[in-house]
Amino acid sequence: MDSEAEMDALFQDLAVEIGNMVLRAQNPDGTVPISALPGLQRQAEAAVRRRFLNREGRAFGENNEPLAPFPQIVADGQKAMIRLALERTAAILDKSLPEDLRAALTGREVVT
């Protein structure tokens, strides 16, 4: 799954979870009592935090490793963009550099 699809799934899951919270809090007539709002707010905040932060309230660790789902998706997307840029740059260089220079850069022997 690509980063965009993962992000969509993360937010879809969050919306469903919060929607279910509201449904559970509503009265038989479909209204949500004002007295239920602080609890709903705490529950919704906890649902958001679980996706963005770890239990200690951090998104990234000491070595910038992602500690929660959202930062992991962002990091994976960044890695994919960097990989694509490097692959395209390598392809351009492979086509434009002389064979002896390509061989020197890649550690291959030049066949003469």
Residue 112 pLDDT: 59
Q: Which of 48, 50, 80 is nearest to 67 (CA)?
A: 50
- How long a stretch of residues is the chain? 112
Q: How far is CA 83 from CA 30, 31, 37, 56, 92, in A?
A: 50, 50, 46, 31, 14
Residue with tokens 């707010």: 41
Tell me the pLDDT tens digit for each residue of 51-80: 999 999 999 999 999 999 999 999 999 999
Average pLDDT, the chain: 92
